[in-house]
């Protein structure tokens, strides 16, 4: 059988018509990679010299996988392709052409850390404040300029850019950019962005070089075209201009990387640059059920800016998409873990058949904790576990020192973060002294005046010790959240993260806020789970014990059968039998920052489209009624995207609770009555527009009393157990079932007396 016989009619047409400008619009699960691979192999089989084919991808993994498949069809000629990522291919060409602009052929390539190190040096030499001119932020600014074809000279002459820098209190950015470029040139080094910018400069400045590569690469093919930026497209457009045998493959509905500089305009306006364009649409989905495909179609049709297509599938209709409401984000985590356990038990799914997808990294915490409680192994794809993230560990280290100042590892981690003038040599000297005198490092720090250190080091250490002691003193009277908030502010750790407005910086700030949210919930959570330890104290020591119990058994084993957890951006290109898209709430997904721009809102909708099309057979969309944000309990609205899914493919479920034995093996959903998604008013517990919730004295609470809870609404006391400060009430709430509440921490209004 010919390799072409493996293709459906649309795929085959896209493979066989090899000449002229071509756009292959490939919906999710439609065989995009196969079509691009077979098209390249077909070119070689038709006699096209493989050396004349330029194929560009976005990952080395993708290019290597494609090359192997091409070789299986076309033989060893597949090895001669110029195939790889934009950066790897153009770095290879620059080894030949770089001397034309004064670089050596053996130029060095600076990675991100190299680039930030050089910028840090320049900022210091210029006498600038590195708290304002953070190397990471400056590098991002320079990178954005390069990808927009803005050289240092153009940057310095652009009044709009200079005004933006003045408003950001960084007027010296243009000078730093110029010096950075000069230092790279003197060192014979290029950063990743230079690999593309310098290729573009050479093609513009030297017509003979442009002519050379236009005639060398008679066929140009680009994968994931919707993810290209202005500079990348500008380069390939120049190279393909003579023969116009340019093929782009992608899906405008999966354009989700604007924050990296990608522009959807490249794919939407491609026909304007190549009027003779032939368009092939791959609309048959081989991945998902009919219900999932229908939901995806209806959703994406709400976008104004798109290439029209109608995805279809011959797969089974499949189960309804389940939209699930839970009372809180912690309950959301518990529900997902319970659901995974249920499906594993009932249908014998493996862990690796499940994926939990979220909008922001900070959301992972509740799901990680719940999976751990069930002993379900999981892996964070494209990231790390919540409690292993640097910024989380930094704040936890301060809290550890508050509880136990003799924790040497915690001390080493934060004694000079944020920077307070205690260098590594000073820390090393403290460690050596402690070992020599058989003392703890804290004892040396606490008596630093008695040792031979510089006056500056002594002052900095004394201030650090005094600060930690003050935290310990406050821990006696403050609860865990109030103390942690104070520690985050007093150490300047929160301010340090808040001031970093890069994508990575925002994510780090969100992670620390989520840690504080978890501590707030720990303090205020008076709901006791039957299978969990009961914590009667809400101090920082008890919270740290809780974290240790949760994280103590973490194992890194790549061979484990694990549930996959990841942001939706990381999930692009992947597929799973069962998918949970979580936190589908207004101001979270879509994010609050996207609600004021049509372009941003449409990108959020495309991101949701990517999320739901990862699912093969089962899709769950969950959201919480309440979520802690910045220490306040917020009431959440379901996302507008949920309302854009057709009613006939979904079922609604509210506040599910795992069935008790002997019904544990029964279908989780048979216990739940379908109900429309409620749309509660968005407000916070600190809102001035709503009447504040004032709790009553509940020391005399009795069985039969009717009460009001801020989160769960009206309920009835069905049992009282324990005595004194350990007294616990079992209260039945119509919406949420029976909850056990420790009266010491209960926030209840008494509505009606007992019998």
If phi > 0 it is left, if psi is from -120 to 50 it is alpha, else beta; for residue 335 that is: alpha
Please confirm whether the linkage preceding 418 is cis (ω < 30° from 0).
yes
224 in catalytic set? yes
Structure token pair of residue 289: 């059920």
Element spanning 620, H or E: strand 615-624
Using CA atoms, how far residue 503 sits from 130, 136, 507, 510, in Å, is 19, 10, 6, 11
Q: What is the distance between the alpha carbons of residues 463 and 411, in angstroms, rounded to a whole number? A: 14
Closest of 146, 150, 229, 157 to residue 190, by C-alpha? 146
- 508, 614, 627, 640: which is the annotated catalytic residue? 614
Measure the CA dihedral 302/306/308/312, to 10°.
Answer: -70
Q: What's the Rg (C-alpha) of the chain?
A: 30
Using CA atoms, how far residue 425 sits from 199, 373, 421, 457, in Å, is 44, 42, 11, 11
The phi, psi pair for 584, rounded to 5°, reads: -85, 75
Q: What is the distance between the alpha carbons of residues 200 and 686, in angstroms, rounded to a whole number? A: 54
Please confirm whether the linkage preceding 281 is cis (ω < 30° from 0).
no
Q: What is the distance between the alpha carbons of residues 488 and 484, in angstroms, rounded to a whole number? A: 6
424 in catalytic set? no
614 in catalytic set? yes
Element spanning 547, H or E: helix 540-551
Q: What is the distance between the alpha carbons of residues 612 and 355, in angstroms, rounded to a whole number? A: 11
DSSP of 548-577, one letter per residue? HHHHTT----TTS--EEEEEHHHHTT--EE
- 194, 223, 329, 521: which is the annotated catalytic residue? 223
Contacts of 295 (CB under 8 A, 6+ apart): 321, 612, 619, 645, 646, 649, 650
Are 528 and 728 in contact by the 8 Å Cβ rule? The answer is yes
Are 355 and 566 in contact by the 8 Å Cβ rule? The answer is yes
Q: What is the distance between the alpha carbons of residues 496 and 533, in angstroms, rounded to a whole number? A: 35
666 in catalytic set? no
Q: Is the dihedral of CA 685, 687, 689, 693 positive or negative?
A: positive
Query: 564 has which bridge partners?
Result: 355, 379
Q: What is the distance between the alpha carbons of residues 356 and 344, in angstroms, rounded to a whole number? A: 15
User: What is the C-alpha end-to-end distance of the chain, expressed in Å?
Assistant: 82
- 11, 33, 613, 626: which is the annotated catalytic residue? 33
284 in catalytic set? no
Q: What is the distance between the alpha carbons of residues 472 and 147, in angstroms, rounded to a whole number? A: 49
Using CA atoms, how far residue 233 sits from 21, 267, 270, 538, in Å, is 14, 10, 10, 56
Instruction: Count the neighbouring beta carbons within 10 Å of the beta carbon of residue 612.
Output: 25
3-state helix, strand, coil in the chain (%, to 5): 50, 15, 35
Element spanning 634, H or E: strand 632-635
- 191, 194, 224, 369: which is the annotated catalytic residue? 224
Closest of 694, 698, 369 to residue 554, by C-alpha? 369
- 22, 37, 254, 567: which is the annotated catalytic residue? 254
696 in catalytic set? no
Using CA atoms, how far residue 545 sits from 390, 400, 488, 537, in Å, is 20, 10, 19, 11
Hey, which residues are catalytic here?
32-33, 223-224, 254, 614
């Amino acid at each position: 059988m010919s390799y072409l016989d493996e293709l459906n009619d649309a795929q085959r047409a896209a493979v066989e018509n090899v000449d002229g400008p071509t756009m292959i619009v490939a919906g999710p699960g439609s065989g995009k990679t196969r079509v691009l691979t077979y098209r390249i192999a077909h070119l070689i089989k038709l006699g096209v010299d493989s050396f004349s084919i330029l194929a560009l991808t976005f990952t080395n993994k993708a290019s290597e996988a494609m090359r192997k498949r091409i070789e299986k069809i076309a033989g060893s000629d597949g090895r001669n392709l110029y195939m790889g990522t934009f950066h790897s291919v153009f770095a290879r060409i620059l080894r030949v052409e770089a001397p034309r602009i004064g670089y050596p052929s053996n130029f060095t390539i600076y990675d991100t850390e190299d680039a930030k190190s050089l910028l840090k040096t320049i900022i210091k030499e210029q006498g600038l404040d590195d708290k304002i001119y953070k190397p990471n932020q400056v590098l991002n600014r320079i990178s954005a300029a390069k990808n927009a074809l803005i050289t240092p000279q153009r940057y310095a002459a652009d009044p709009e850019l200079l005004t933006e820098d003045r408003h950001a209190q960084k007027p010296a950015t243009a000078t730093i950019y110029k010096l950075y470029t000069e230092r790279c040139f003197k060192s014979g080094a290029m950063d990743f962005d230079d690999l593309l910018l310098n290729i573009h400069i050479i093609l513009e400045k030297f017509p003979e070089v442009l002519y050379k590569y236009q005639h060398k690469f008679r066929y140009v093919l680009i994968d994931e075209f919707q993810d290209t930026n202005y500079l990348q497209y500008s380069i390939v457009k120049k190279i393909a201009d003579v023969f116009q045998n340019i093929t782009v493959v992608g899906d405008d509905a999966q354009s989700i990387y604007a924050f990296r500089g990608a522009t959807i305009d490249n794919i939407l306006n491609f026909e304007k640059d190549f009027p003779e364009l032939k368009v092939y649409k791959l609309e048959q989905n081989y991945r998902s059920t009919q219900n999932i495909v229908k939901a995806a179609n209806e959703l994406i049709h709400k976008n104004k800016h798109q290439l029209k297509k109608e995805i279809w599938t011959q797969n089974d209709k499949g189960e309804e998409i389940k939209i699930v409401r839970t009372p809180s984000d912690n309950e959301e985590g518990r529900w997902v873990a319970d659901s995974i356990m249920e499906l594993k038990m009932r249908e014998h799914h493996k862990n690796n058949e499940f994926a939990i997808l979220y909008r922001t990294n900070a959301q992972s915490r509740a799901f990680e904790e719940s999976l751990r409680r069930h002993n379900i192994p999981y892996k964070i794809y494209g990231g790390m576990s919540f409690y292993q993230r640097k910024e989380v560990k930094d704040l936890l280290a301060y809290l550890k020192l508050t509880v136990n100042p003799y924790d040497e590892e915690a001390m080493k981690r934060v004694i000079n973060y944020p920077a307070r003038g205690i260098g590594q040599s000073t820390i090393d000297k403290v460690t050596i002294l402690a070992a020599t005198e058989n003392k703890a490092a804290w004892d040396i720090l606490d008596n630093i005046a008695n040792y031979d250190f510089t006056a500056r080091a002594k002052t900095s250490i004394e201030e650090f010790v005094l600060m930690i002691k003050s935290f310990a003193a406050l821990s006696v009277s403050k609860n865990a959240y109030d103390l942690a908030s104070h520690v985050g502010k007093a150490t300047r750790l929160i301010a340090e993260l808040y001031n970093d407005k890069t994508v990575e910086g925002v994510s780090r700030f969100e992670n620390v806020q989520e840690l504080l949210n978890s501590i707030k919930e720990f303090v205020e959570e008076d709901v006791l789970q039957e299978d969990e330890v009961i914590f009667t104290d809400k101090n920082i020591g008890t919270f740290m014990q809780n974290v240790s119990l949760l994280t103590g058994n973490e194992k890194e084993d790549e061979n484990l059968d694990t549930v996959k957890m990841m942001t939706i951006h990381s999930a692009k290109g992947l597929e799973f039998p069962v998918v949970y898209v979580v936190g589908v709430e207004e101001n979270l997904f879509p994010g609050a920052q996207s609600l004021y721009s049509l372009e941003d809102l449409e990108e959020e909708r495309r991101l949701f489209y990517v999320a739901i099309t990862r699912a093969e057979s089962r899709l769950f969309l969950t959201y919480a009624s309440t979520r802690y944000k910045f220490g306040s309990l917020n009431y959440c609205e379901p996302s507008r995207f949920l309302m854009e899914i057709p009613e006939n493919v979904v079922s609604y479920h509210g506040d599910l609770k795992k069935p008790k034995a002997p019904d544990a093996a029964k279908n989780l959903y048979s216990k739940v009555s379908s109900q429309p998604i409620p749309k509660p008013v968005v407000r916070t517990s600190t809102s001035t527009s709503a009447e504040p919730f004032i709790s009553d004295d509940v020391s005399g609470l009795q069985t039969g009393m009717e009460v009001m809870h801020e989160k769960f609404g009206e309920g009835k006391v069905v049992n009282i157990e324990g005595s004194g400060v350990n007294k616990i009430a079992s209260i039945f709430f119509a919406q949420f079932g029976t909850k056990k509440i420790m009266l010491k921490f209960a926030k209840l209004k008494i509505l009606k007396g007992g019998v």
